[in-house]
Amino acid sequence: MDIKIPENELEMIEGSDLLKRVLELKKSGFRFSQANAALIDGNFELSYSFSDYETYGLHTLRIVTDTEQEIPSITQIVPAAVFYENEMKELYGVKIKMIDLDYRDKLYRIRQTAPMGKQKTEE
């Protein structure tokens, strides 16, 4: 195969810049791929990955925030993010506001609230 794959890119941003950067990436041809949360040293690391299916490049936006900070939903710009944002909310307890389709803790039929979030560290 003759294809030159660019290296994965990781861009650190503030929560307030999230919507702007997501819009810019979408306009430049990137497609939303995934979003995930990680609880590292008491803070949330939120990653939003976008792929360019022409070049196979992967660009990830990273927000590091405290666990009480509210993060805007990107679902108005990227409908595909609905599941991912509900997952971050239900499994980690990330405070995401204005999700286009908020399942209100009913996407995952699990008993515990935010089993992988702050509560887990306190255990």
Partner 1 sequence: MGKRSVIPFGPQHPVLPEPIHIDLVVEDEKVVEAVPSIGFVHRGLESLAEKKDFNQLVYVAERTCGICSFQHGMGYCEAVEHIMGLEVPRRAKFLRTIWAELSRIHSHLLWLGLLADGFGFENLFYQCWRIREKILDLHELTAGGRLIFSVNKVGGVIKDIEGDKLDTILSTLDEVDDELRVIRSVFFEDRTVLSRLKGVGILSKEQINDLGAVGPFARASGVRVDMRMLGYAAYDELSFVPIVSNDGDCYARCFIRMMELFQSIKLIREAIGKIPAEKDLEVPVKGNPDGEYFMRLEQPRGEAFYYVKASGKPILDRMRIRTPTFANIPALCEMLKNTEIADVGLLVLTIDPCVSCTER
- Residue 118 is given by DSSP the state H
| Shortest distance (Å) from residue 58 CB to partner 1 | 6
Nearest to 30 by CA among 93, 95, 80, 83: 80
- Using the contact rule CB under 8 A, the part of the chain among 13-21, 30-38, 65-73 near partner 1 is 30-38
Nearest to 61 by CA among 116, 94, 5, 14: 14
**Which residues in the 86-115 window bind partner 1 by CB under 8 A?**
103, 106-110, 115
Q: Which of 16, 56, 70, 97 binds partner 1 (CB under 8 A)?
A: 56
Phi-psi region of 114 (alpha: psi -120 to 50; beta: other; left: phi over 0): left
Beta-bridge mates of residue 87:
none
Contact between 23 and partner 1 by CB under 8 A: the answer reads no
**Interface positions with partner 1 (CB under 8 A):** 1, 3, 5, 8, 10, 31-34, 36, 38, 40, 45, 47, 49, 51, 53, 56, 58, 60, 78-83, 103, 106-110, 115-116, 120
